[in-house]
Structure 1
Amino acid sequence: MDYENLARTILKNVGGKENINAAWHCATRLRFKLKNEDIAQTQDIENLDGVVTVVKSAGQYQVVIGNAVAKVFDPLARLANLDTEDKPATENKQSNDTIINRFIGFISGVFTPFLGAMAGAGVLKGLLALFVATGWLQTTSGTYQIWYAAGDGFFYFLPMMLAVTAAKRLNVNQFVAVALAAALVYPTLATAISSSKGIDFFGIPVVPTTYSSSVIPILLAVWVLSYIEPVLDKIFPEAVRNILTPLAALMIMTPLTLLVVGPLGTSVGTILSNGVSAIYNFAPFVAGAIMGAFWQVFVIFGVHWTFVPVMMNNIAKLGYDPLLPILSVAVISQAGAALGVFLKTKDPKMKSLAGSSVLTAVLGITEPTIYGVTLKLKKPFICASIAGAIGGAIAGAGGAHASSFTLPSLLALPTYLGNGFVSVIIGLVVAFTLGTILTYLFGVSNDRNAKSTIVNNENSLKTETILPPVSGTIIPLTSVKDEVFASEAMGQGIAIVPDSDVIVAPVNGTISAIYPTKHAIGIISEKGAEILIHIGIDTVALKGKYFEQLVEQNQKIKQGDPILKFDRNAIKNAGYDTSIMLIITNTAAYQIEETLETKADHNWLLTLTPVTK
């Protein structure tokens, strides 16, 4: 693989370095904050060898590469002149970049840089527990103590690691942030605070709290520092700013953190830990089933990062985390589904991708498996979710927990030693086996049998041509900013950026559905095609405003008849994407050919040919 050329091509297709606000990478994805996502050539990027897919989530433009992502990012960073060391990853303040997206992006950016090292340290701690349990090492031996320091040291000084990455994300002096974190874990001060006498700051008692291995207090402290530091920069002259700003920042923030911010963060962490424990203790098998079923859905939408501080806080406060073993079950279920695809599919390319995805998923990297195999084929993802729910329920019911944080995978097994370990093993075996069997039986259609079934069940289908429902610019369905449509989960189709305000019937047929919010309309053509026309993205929130219905349900229509009006300028001014999606919801019954034209007028969009033996 020519990673240099791949990086150059991706850079060109995202709009060049001029269109990049920030870029970084995680374990499998190139993550961009683009100035204008509309410029990016999503379809061209997805067609590149070495690219699994493109995902738009949490305000980020994500190019899924797989395990070789670092080899692509390095030349891309060089070609785009990205300062990957010292320049903070500034946030894109576009109107569609919500506070939730910014929060998820912040958490992702904070943990991603050291996720591999943290996972390695966690596995090392788990292995040491295994070595002690089997009698291979004694806790008093020098070998054990040296290795334990290597594994536990990372977590003990975790606030310092977080200070570096959080400061970078928030455009704060990283060394001041690290100095602040170092003060929180400073051994002499920590001992004095936790002693029976305690200490005070000008008569104000310091709350006795331990900050080693903590997460939330230092993140809050750096966030507060991000507001104080610019004020100090304005106060001090430029000639002395480099010294006096850090001096004042440390003198203010250290006592402020110990007196207010730190205890507040600790309280928040305690509430979160107690909340998770309460839910888990109330119905552990239900918690296991829910997390086992939906964890990979969280990964798809990028919200899984919000669980990382909670899990790490559980380990710091409770000494264990009940979620991590369940997440390993969810991960392994995807590996099982990939194996099911590998065993069943007749497509050589899919068989190769599924085979390699089994190994990467077992090792905890599921993005190539999800985007390249299970979600792409849809049913295997559902099978994996069912298997994950059952395996997760078993692990949860057995009281499984992790003693240290690491990536959910088989490598993490040593960290699950102790209470509930057997239930984790059973849950993993069940999830993997069931994921494989369900996918083999129900997740992948045998090509010949599938075609025969379609012909038997859809004898009335006939070849037909779909005309544009509106005039405008034709774009690939996979490039629209909606995961459901872009993933083709509802079926294949095409999208149009409209230049008129009237939707017309693309076929002769019958109105099968009109949604109360009038933003979408269903049609069944005379020749059997089931068509969904969706006006705009997230326009359901408008509750019918700016839409005018021109037809009734079950009404017969002719090709070209006006069926709906909408005010595209008003919708756009309200902050919504006005792209029109035309979906063939019974896609499996057809071979679908798309037009090569870029302008929709009275030309054909799609040709539907019923599948035959």
Structure 2
Amino acid sequence: MAYQELVKEVLENIGGKENINGVTHCITRLRFKLKDESKANTDKIKQIKGVVTVVQSGGQYQVVIGNHVPEVYQELVKIAGIQSNSPNEETSEKKGILNTFIDVISGIFTPVISVLMASGMIKGLNALLVAFGVIESGSGTNVILQATGDSLFYFFPLFLGYTAAKKFGAKPFIGMAIGGALVYPAVAAATANLEPLYSLFPGTIFESPVYLTFAGIPVILMTYSSSVIPIILAVFCAAKLERVLNSIIPKEVRGFFIPFFTLLITVPLTYIVIGPLATWAGLLLGNVMLGVYNFSPIIAGIIIGGFWQVFIMFGLHWGFIPIALNNIATIGYDTIMIAGSATPLATAGVVLGIFLKTRNKKLKEISFPAFLSAVFGITEPALYGVTLPRKKTFFATLASVAVAGGIMGIFGSKSYVAGATGVFAIPNFINPEAGIDKGFIGYVIAVSIAFIMGLVLSLTFAYDPKVDEEPENNEPKQDPKPALNESLGKTVYHELASPIQGEVVPLDQIEDEAFSAGLLGKGVALVPQKGQVVAPEDGVVTTLFPTKHAIGLTTDSGVEVLIHIGMDTVNLKGQFFEAHVQQGDHVKKGQLLVTFELEKIKDAGYPLITPVVISNTAEYLDVMATKKQTIMESEPLLTVIS
């Protein structure tokens, strides 16, 4: 469907693109920051075909479009000539230093993490096959598998050049070009058989031979393949330089002069200054962490292992990733993140114990898939859906991983490959030179004990099945309702469960007109008492906004459900929200979709009232809401009549 006319009419009546300070979009609406809202012809915009309504709230001029707003936004960006990734007032809010650091690191590594895991698994498989004599080292199979698994790591600066450029707002292919220049083989080859011209910083830990110069300036050559920190800093500088060049170069020639000058300045600067300084900083940081570990490997293993899942919950684990990757690139192994590597199997043991012990049918349905996911390295379903809500089981997981971390410290276990998790991580600990050594045996013992300890703790005192016993239904009997999809003549009733535990509120009590007037569909609102959203029915996640504040599902019976957590929470830009599914996933009823931090969202000043509406209401005879004042997850909330 083309949206050119819709966009043109909106632009015309909003005061033109000159009246726009910035624009973003959420799951249903375009959110404008206008220079002068009085220039917008609100009444006329409301009459435009394709516009549901207009809402003016929180300093934003919101044009409600519906579920196809991403396509309208892209058309708007194209027609108005607005850069979709340019910073605006909404994205320039100040964050704490730690939050900023975590946001940057996660933004750079998240897009490549799945390929990183796959590459690590292939390298581990290759090492395993060689260690057990299945294939010979140096054989064709060995070489091709090694190339498959190692290509990402060797050319890591190219991948990170792309993702870092996206994060810092630079042109992605410029980032890749900088990364490519750092691993360009001819630079190292040109100095292979040369004697150094002289040395810099003689007699210090930074003493470095100089083999070549750039315009008379000495160049300290470093090994940048598999490196992390140099390319991130280089692209950060390139992004800043791009903005300066953009302000001084005429727009007619920006297309080729900005990349020309950015590369011409950034690449030599990286070789001369940024690369050596970043490499030294990385080595220093790695040696400090290694020194702490060497001081007491057992204590370090216990502390890092015991708190690893806490780090994951708060996103702090991202801070360890560049250090670990840097260690593998510079010294050939890592001892920082290994303690946390027992987390998936410890979690699997705890969840298996819950599965075997519980009498709650719903919990059994949730816990077994969560157990399987944890075995293969994905712990979020188990963490948020099973262990964390029961507290003691969460602490049992932490204790099991802490013990495993201490055991790894005793054996001096090391990880030689990054990426894979769960059972797939086991080959990462095979020493590429010594094969099956003491460290590898220690790792296998540690993760085995983590699994067994988690299982035993869960089966004994960490989990009490009474907390999940299904309560007897002592409520007054209500009028009998037709069962799900039960036909009465030509009438079919689709009963949808509540995705949130909380207080039930009529839609018309929401201040947002788009919801209160039923313009986005009939439904009900909930005031959450618990910070999580579960699937109201089996179906497909058709929409998951990047800020995670809203999610749309289409059930297997064709009902389109929109769950919008809070009002104007899109402005939080994902802070305090965590998604546990991806767009396109098929989910089961009761499966965890999104978690959010209730108190922090309240403290930030955003109402938590959450509309749950049927987007395709027009396709049905009616939508009826429950008469309950409070409701638990998975209790009947809406009945859709077709």
User: Fold match, TM over 0.5?
Assistant: yes
Are the aligned partners of 1:320 and 1:403 in contact in 2 as well (CA < 8 Å)? yes
**1:438 corresponding residue in structure 2:** 457
Amino acid at match of 1:430: I
Equivalent in 227, 251, 254 of residue 240 of structure 2: 227
**2:187 corresponding residue in structure 1:** 189
**1:523 corresponding residue in structure 2:** none
Matches within 5 A, 1:539-558: none
Answering whether residue 405 of structure 2 is matched by residue 406 of structure 1, we say no
Q: Once the two structures are aligned, what percentage of the paired residues are identical?
A: 36
Equivalent in 432, 446, 452 of residue 427 of structure 1: 446
Amino acid at match of 1:147: L
Amino acid at match of 1:183: A
SS of 1:319's equivalent in the other structure is coil
Shift in alpha-carbon separation, 1:450–1:182, aligned structure 2, 3 A: closer
**1:531 corresponding residue in structure 2:** none
Shift in alpha-carbon separation, 1:19–1:337, aligned structure 2, 3 A: farther
TM-superposed CA distance for 1:137, in Å, is: 2.0
CA RMSD between the two structures: 4.1
Matches within 5 A, 1:353-372: 353-372=366-385
TM-superposed CA distance for 1:364, in Å, is: 0.8
Q: TM-score, normalised by structure 2?
A: 0.59
Are the aligned partners of 2:29 and 2:69 in contact in 1 as well (CA < 8 Å)? no
TM-superposed CA distance for 1:191, in Å, is: 3.0
Instruction: String of CA shifts for 1:384-422, please: whole Å, max 9, x gaps.
Output: 111111111111221111111113211011111134111
Instruction: Return the alpha-carbon distance in structure 1 between the equivalents of residues 351 and 134 of structure 2.
Output: 37
Are the aligned partners of 1:330 and 1:392 in contact in 2 as well (CA < 8 Å)? no
Instruction: Return the alpha-carbon distance in structure 1 between the equivalents of residues 358 and 32 of structure 2.
Output: 39
Instruction: Return the alpha-carbon distance in structure 1 between the equivalents of residues 452 and 149 of structure 2.
Output: 33
SS of 1:323's equivalent in the other structure is coil
Instruction: Return the alpha-carbon distance in structure 2 between the equivalents of residues 80 and 477 of structure 1.
Output: 34
Instruction: String of CA shifts for 1:170-201, please: whole Å, max 9, x gaps.
Output: 11111111111111111011233675331101
TM-superposed CA distance for 1:362, in Å, is: 1.1
TM-superposed CA distance for 1:77, in Å, is: 6.6
Instruction: Return the alpha-carbon distance in structure 1 between the equivalents of residues 320 and 155 of structure 2.
Output: 20
**1:144 corresponding residue in structure 2:** 142
Amino acid at match of 1:295: W
Answering whether residue 436 of structure 2 is matched by residue 417 of structure 1, we say no
Equivalent in 341, 346, 349 of residue 336 of structure 1: 349
Instruction: Return the alpha-carbon distance in structure 1 between the equivalents of residues 136 and 69 of structure 2.
Output: 48
**1:476 corresponding residue in structure 2:** 528
**1:272 corresponding residue in structure 2:** 285
TM-superposed CA distance for 1:438, in Å, is: 0.8
Are the aligned partners of 2:30 and 2:69 in contact in 1 as well (CA < 8 Å)? no
Shift in alpha-carbon separation, 1:242–1:87, aligned structure 2, 3 A: same
**2:303 corresponding residue in structure 1:** 290
Shift in alpha-carbon separation, 1:328–1:597, aligned structure 2, 3 A: closer
SS of 1:200's equivalent in the other structure is strand
Shift in alpha-carbon separation, 1:431–1:19, aligned structure 2, 3 A: farther
Q: TM-score, normalised by structure 1?
A: 0.62
Matches within 5 A, 1:187-266: 187-192=185-190, 195-197=194-196, 198-266=211-279
Instruction: Return the alpha-carbon distance in structure 2 between the equivalents of residues 595 and 399 of structure 1.
Output: 58
Are the aligned partners of 1:162 and 1:219 in contact in 2 as well (CA < 8 Å)? yes
**1:313 corresponding residue in structure 2:** 326
**1:596 corresponding residue in structure 2:** 629
Shift in alpha-carbon separation, 1:299–1:19, aligned structure 2, 3 A: farther
- How many residues are treated as equivalent by the alignment? 423
**2:165 corresponding residue in structure 1:** 167
Shift in alpha-carbon separation, 1:36–1:161, aligned structure 2, 3 A: farther
**1:347 corresponding residue in structure 2:** 360
TM-superposed CA distance for 1:259, in Å, is: 0.8
Are the aligned partners of 2:228 and 2:326 in contact in 1 as well (CA < 8 Å)? yes
**1:154 corresponding residue in structure 2:** 152
Amino acid at match of 2:629: L
Instruction: Return the alpha-carbon distance in structure 2 between the equivalents of residues 401 and 89 of structure 1.
Output: 42
Amino acid at match of 1:369: A
TM-superposed CA distance for 1:297, in Å, is: 0.7
Are the aligned partners of 2:111 and 2:163 in contact in 1 as well (CA < 8 Å)? yes
TM-superposed CA distance for 1:18, in Å, is: 3.3
SS of 1:407's equivalent in the other structure is coil
Are the aligned partners of 1:296 and 1:330 in contact in 2 as well (CA < 8 Å)? yes
TM-superposed CA distance for 1:75, in Å, is: 9.9
TM-superposed CA distance for 1:89, in Å, is: 8.7
Instruction: String of CA shifts for 1:93-132, please: whole Å, max 9, x gaps.
Output: 3646433223212211211112111111112112222222
**Mean Cα deviation higher: 115-124 or 214-223:** 115-124
TM-superposed CA distance for 1:327, in Å, is: 1.9
TM-superposed CA distance for 1:363, in Å, is: 0.8
Structure 2 portions without partners, runs of 5+: 1-24, 34-55, 61-66, 78-82, 197-210, 432-436, 472-509, 512-525, 533-565, 568-597, 609-626, 632-642
Amino acid at match of 1:440: L
